[in-house]
Amino acid sequence: MNLFKRIVSKLTNQPEEEEKQSLEKLGDSLKNADLDYKFAQLFTHSGGFFNYCADEAEALQTLNQIIKIEGIGNLFCWDKELQNFLNVVKSPYTSELQSSNDAAFITCEYLIAYDGRIMLSHNNILHYHSSRLPDKIIIIANVSQIVNNLNDAMGKIKRNGNIKNLTSISGGQSKLDGSSGSNPKLFLLLLED
């Protein structure tokens, strides 16, 4: 990339073509790797924070560390099972999205190994548009939710039915929502099934 294009991309805060190409190169180099390894590599390469948890006790410990290190005082969490996690770590939350929420604690539909994206639906974020979520998002998922590519995810969604308002997010940038000015900081807690 020539010097002029680099300067323009820095001034306009647009990702450089080299960054996009490096993600594609990394994806190509991992095409024969296990899906979970490939997903973890691409997710972290795009700016996400990946945390493997062998069981729920380790997930609780990691969640508590994230909340403390990031200085999170109030989470958006509407899922009753996830609220139980927050009750254990004694972290305040609201079941409706509020401007006072420092972070969101949610589930997801699928983890897409092809490019390290996380697929969300109305099941995960209610009726809220993903751009309205707080700047910090903590997602909990199971290894069984990792799929090879978007086609595999869409096929499973069709079979399950009644899933709407799909979007995907990745490491430091939303892939389908357009630019919202700031990129969320994503933390993934991946649990063994």
CATH of the domain at 90: 3.40.50.10420
Q: What are phi and psi of 159, to 5 degrees?
A: -65, -40
For residue 127, the model assigns a pLDDT of 85
Q: For residue 157, what are the domain limits?
A: 34-191
Could you tell me the pTM of the whole model?
0.83
Res. 18 pLDDT band, cuts 50 70 90 = low
Do strands 167-170 and 117-120 pair parallel, antiparallel, or not at all (unpaired)? Answer: antiparallel
Could you give the number of structural domains in the chain?
A: 2
**Mean pLDDT value of segment 36-50:** 93
* Separation of alpha carbons 188 and 40, rounded Å: 10
For residue 21, the model assigns a pLDDT of 57
Query: Is residue 15 pLDDT above 60, yes or no?
Result: no
For residue 23, the model assigns a pLDDT of 62
Residues 4 and 42 in one domain: no
